[in-house]
Chains A and B, each alone.
Chain A
């Protein structure tokens, strides 16, 4: 017998949990402007997230999926993208969405039960939040196929969770991307849990990155709490794709510090000690320490940033709460791009029936 194929999986981290750089840091790690921008966004994302949970608790928002602990992974992915690339997220990647130009008010509108929240004023070509698991990986592959066909210098990125890697759609997307050499990056944000199912029960593979091997595309695992590692490797992957070298998979390892959603209580199925341990390696601590050590961050700046973020979030909340609830016509107006006249009668009927003022989200 001879070995006719083998594989290895690389792991990358540039910043330790204490914020200490490893020897071979990339250029990004010394680009203070980029670092500060990313840190600001991570902080804003966290302030936003905390507020959204509070809104849900006080009945002003529907069920909400928190992103606590995922800030580096999410912001790092989007920060590596060009504006005309396309993002296909799942449902908790607010850091990435905000970085792409989606507004906080739009995200609140979505979770307030209003599809107009997915009609982004900013990144018009990004896909909306996607709750059906892993289906967005296929959409990203399809977007990449369109870019390839038209010879455009654009890439697509999908983001799904560890649980999502068990879906057929995830494998099929990678396989088609490999077979057709598509300019797409599959991001897996491994936060160790899929609702109540721990990663050990989700799969027998040692890494999720190695799921790329069978599709014939490269896979790498990075520390998802290290924003420098995430952004660096996503940039590299996008560069490859733009050079016509095809798709790849990046697994960003992090931890879901929150419940699955506000409808969940994770204390019923996971240990407090596990969550506490994860809290000590969460992503904001290390980048803040690193910036402080570089001499470009201090407590005063931190306090000012938090104030600014709070004001921004408050303004978004106001905007959300004052948005009138959708009217009954929206049910019909957004159903088809080309309205079949045959449905006009039921539309008119519904308008007569439900034309009461629904008030605002507040």
Chain B
């Protein structure tokens, strides 16, 4: 199996799905690079390089560079999706949903329902997410909880190149609007990824590590933070079970509950502010459905309730890290009642 970066795995998937299905088009800002002018349109691929080469392969009819009008291209994608296309929208930063919120959360999410099931909206919205590269408060948020709030949307947060390929394939083939969130700090991560295409189903969590002492549920890059912490904890004799839900909506509650039933302890790691996020969501679910399994209070490891600092030194302190996860795990393991 060839080694591929997260970025390359996504690029490969876009190519394969566009080859497979002519209805798949890409639309967004700065995804083609100098199309229509005489520059080298092939060499760009957007600020993060993910769509590199696609304009050359599929041409400007299927790789649409748009004006800086998020509401326009998002809304146009909704309209096109209801008329036989399967748009893959590149929103660049997930934070930019703020300027097309109506189209994503009030239109795409609700059209199928409000048309009495008549029209589906088969579109995928790709956007980068997360802090860590000093892009300041308005370009660094992790907005998966915001999207997960809305019935009608499906929300995917892949954790590795292999996962990204399988989940993006599923997303593009899915008949509903899917938000696909790519963690900035994962773009250069490498892993073996098969050349042939494959799907990873939504709503089926992945157990990355088995362990009997504590269940850690983490989303996106936080899975790796938890994994790093668990290696150190294992040397102290604490065995963590690490669960990556893959999709925060739909959510595989069953796998989480089964694990907590075994371990009796739960730590959730989420790179968001501490309120109304994925961690509080899972925590509430387990408190409600799995109270009897718990031997200790649930602990959440999140960022503080502040905007994300621009300053790299503060940004590092802001994000959950292995030390914070480790401390939380030790706290639940050491809980005496």
Measured CB to CB, the residues of A under 8 A from B are: 62-63, 113-115, 131-135, 163-164, 166-169, 194-198, 200-203, 263-264, 268-271, 325-326, 328, 330-332, 335, 343, 346, 349-350, 353-354, 358-359
**B114 close to A (CB within 8 Å):** no
Contact of A269 with B310 in the complex, beta carbons under 8 Å: no
Contact of B69 with A166 in the complex, beta carbons under 8 Å: yes
The residue of chain A having its C-beta at the shortest distance from the C-beta of B312 within the complex is A113
Shortest Cβ distance from A211 into chain B, in angstroms? 12
The residue of chain A having its C-beta at the shortest distance from the C-beta of B100 within the complex is A168
User: B242-256 interface mask toward A, CB cutoff 8 Å, 1 = contact, 0 = none?
Assistant: 000000000000000
By a CB distance below 8 angstroms, the chain B residues around A62 are 134, 310, 312
User: B95-113 interface mask toward A, CB cutoff 8 Å, 1 = contact, 0 = none?
Assistant: 0101100000000000000
Contact of B138 with A132 in the complex, beta carbons under 8 Å: yes
The stretch of B3-11, B39-47, B262-270 in contact with A is: B39-47
Measured CB to CB, the residues of B under 8 A from A are: 29-30, 32-41, 43-44, 47, 65, 67-72, 96, 98-99, 134, 136, 138-139, 274, 304-307, 309-315, 317-318
By a CB distance below 8 angstroms, the chain A residues around B34 are 196, 198, 268-270
Roughly how many angstroms separate A113 CA and B137 CA in the complex, as a whole number? 11
Contact of B43 with A268 in the complex, beta carbons under 8 Å: yes
**Cross-chain contact of A263 among B43, B47, B68, B138 (Cβ < 8 A):** B47
Contact of B47 with A328 in the complex, beta carbons under 8 Å: no
By a CB distance below 8 angstroms, the chain B residues around A349 are 304
Contact of B306 with A326 in the complex, beta carbons under 8 Å: no
By a CB distance below 8 angstroms, the chain B residues around A131 are 136, 138-139
**Cross-chain contact of B99 among A114, A167, A332 (Cβ < 8 A):** A167
The residue of chain A having its C-beta at the shortest distance from the C-beta of B35 within the complex is A201
By a CB distance below 8 angstroms, the chain B residues around A169 are 99
Shortest Cβ distance from A218 into chain B, in angstroms? 24
Roughly how many angstroms separate A134 CA and B310 CA in the complex, as a whole number? 21
By a CB distance below 8 angstroms, the chain A residues around B33 are 196, 268-269
Shortest Cβ distance from A238 into chain B, in angstroms? 27
By a CB distance below 8 angstroms, the chain B residues around A200 are 36-37
Shortest Cβ distance from B42 into chain A, in angstroms? 9
Q: Given A167-B69, A331-B318, are A114 and B311 neighbors across the interface (CB < 8 Å)?
A: yes
**Cross-chain contact of A114 among B29, B37, B41, B310 (Cβ < 8 A):** B310
Contact of B68 with A133 in the complex, beta carbons under 8 Å: yes
Q: Given A196-B33, A269-B40, are A335 and B67 neighbors across the interface (CB < 8 Å)?
A: no
Roughly how many angstroms separate A218 CA and B47 CA in the complex, as a whole number? 36
**Cross-chain contact of B68 among A198, A202, A346 (Cβ < 8 A):** A202
Q: Which 9 A-B pairs have the closest CB atoms?
A: A269-B34, A166-B67, A269-B39, A354-B317, A358-B313, A268-B43, A269-B33, A196-B33, A113-B310
By a CB distance below 8 angstroms, the chain A residues around B307 are 331, 335
The residue of chain B having its C-beta at the shortest distance from the C-beta of A343 within the complex is B305
